[in-house]
Amino acid sequence: MLNNHRLLAGRLALIFCVLGVTSLGNFAVAAEDSVMHEIHAAEDKLLERRTGEAVDRLQAIKSRHFPEGQFPGQLDLAHALYAERHFDDAEEAYGEIVGESSYSADVRREAVAGLRSLHRDLSGQVEVDGFFTNVDEGEAYRLTEHLRSPEWNDWRLWAWGRHDFIRLDGDTVLRDRNSNRHEGGVSLERQLGNKANGAVGVGGSEDDFLFGAELNLRGRRGLSLGLELDINERAVDTLTVEALDGRQHKLQLQAGIPITPRIFLDVSAYLREVTLLDDEVGEGWGTEVTLDYTVVSAKRVRPALRIGYAGEVHIFDRDTVGSEISRFTRAPLSADERRDLSCELFEEEVNLHGPRVSIGGRWDDRLACSVEAAAQYDFFDEEFQPRAGLGFEWYLNDRIRLSGRADYLANGQAANRDSEEFRANLGVSLAF
């Protein structure tokens, strides 16, 4: 009997020993799961654009649980530091990934891309872009140049130029079918801490003085606000308006509002006053709204999938074009003809609404692509107006970047409302 009790006690001891080892293992797994839950919660802050909170949480987790070796949230920490303009710390965080072979190849590629983007943001840059537009009125070829200085004590200097070459079709009312326009200017940008920046610029064209100012703010929870004022900005309602050097004064407000980590609202609104040949031809307002839901987030080399709504409303109270325009037409125009021409040059109302979808992401550390499409309905013209676009960004090396985009619109505006519109651009930038 005693031996039986001893045998039972031995078996119980073995069972408790096994249970103890299992419990310790489960506890370790639970502890690891708890840490990963903390990391995911911090990553959610980054998705919500609450980058400051993401930095604090990820740094606390790293110092507490991963003082040495690989940190699972290192890439998100680097991104958050970059967004908060802690550039030295962000460079070090990206560098830890690039120099540590234990990170996966995808993570290291994204760190290389982040490091390259950081260096370009801090460096000087020369960028040249070519644009092409084809509509019923004709064609436009544009060339823009931008020179940006390196950032110095939160200051940065910009210089820019723009050249437009417009070729109108043979049925234009204008006597000269060809028009070349040139303008340029300089601006000074100031970074106001981590949450704001502003810029003021002046310039000129053949006939006009140009002025612009903007202020951009970033608030809590990823909220962003921007206010921009432009004096004598180029009016681009139609190619004929551009050929006649139409100008506008425009005040615009833009807001980016993250509703949840996956839902983002972007709203812009503007007021404008348009002049043509020094005569005021109307004033108007407009608003554009996009609401996007991220179905699949971009993850390393996996593209993001977003679906949502895109809407825009533009109202323009147009006046009759002034008699001065007869100096540029094939024959003098009567008041009725000038009134009809105003209807061709400026769209009275646009009221577009509909769903849209976009797919985009980084395929490797050098190439990023995006594709988007929308099926909108114009409640003013009572017709569907589908559109589609695609774009790319390709780094040839750390200094040279190629970018491009092509867009197709089933219907244009004003004189081009019954025709298709095609736009394309190709650009190259060099960091120094």
pLDDT value of position 412: 75
Report phi then psi at 102, rounded to 5: -75, -20
Instruction: Count Cβ atoms within 10 A of the Cβ of residue 2 and give its class: 0-12 exposed, 13-18 middle, 19 or more buried.
Output: exposed
Helix, strand, or coil here: 1? coil
pLDDT value of position 3: 47
289 beta partners: 267, 311
Q: Strand 367-378 to strand 349-362: parallel, antiparallel, or no bridges (unpaired)?
A: antiparallel
pLDDT tens figures, 229-288: 999 999 999 999 999 999 999 999 999 998 988 899 999 999 999 999 989 999 999 999
Q: What DSSP string describes 324-350?
A: GGGGTBSS---HHHHHHHHHHHS-SEE
pTM: 0.82
List of residues 6+ apart from 190 with CB closer than 8 A = 154, 155, 156, 197, 198, 199
Report phi then psi at 375, rounded to 5: -120, 85
List of residues 6+ apart from 297 with CB closer than 8 A = 47, 262, 304
pLDDT tens figures, 131-181: 999 998 999 999 999 999 998 989 999 999 999 999 998 778 898 889 999
In one letter, which amino acid is 177?
R
In one letter, which amino acid is 424?
A
Cα gap 241→234, rounded to integer Å: 9
Instruction: Count Cβ atoms within 10 A of the Cβ of residue 431 and give its class: 0-12 exposed, 13-18 middle, 19 or more buried.
Output: buried
pLDDT value of position 27: 39
Cα gap 248→369, rounded to integer Å: 34
Domains identified in the chain and CATH numbers:
2-121 (1.25.40.10), 125-431 (2.40.160)
Q: What is the dihedral of CA 405, 408, 141, 270, to 10 degrees?
A: -90
pLDDT value of position 15: 33
CB atoms within 10 A of CB 31: 11
Instruction: Count Cβ atoms within 10 A of the Cβ of residue 88 and give its class: 0-12 exposed, 13-18 middle, 19 or more buried.
Output: exposed
pLDDT value of position 42: 78
- Alpha-helix residue ranges (DSSP H) falling in 48-104: 51-65, 74-83, 87-98
188 beta partners: 157, 200
The secondary structure element, H or E, covering residue 36 is helix 2-47
Residues of the chain with pLDDT under 50: 1-31
Helix, strand, or coil here: 80? helix
pLDDT value of position 389: 97
CA 135 to chain centroid, in Å, comes to 25
Q: Strand 196-205 to strand 263-276: parallel, antiparallel, or no bridges (unpaired)?
A: unpaired
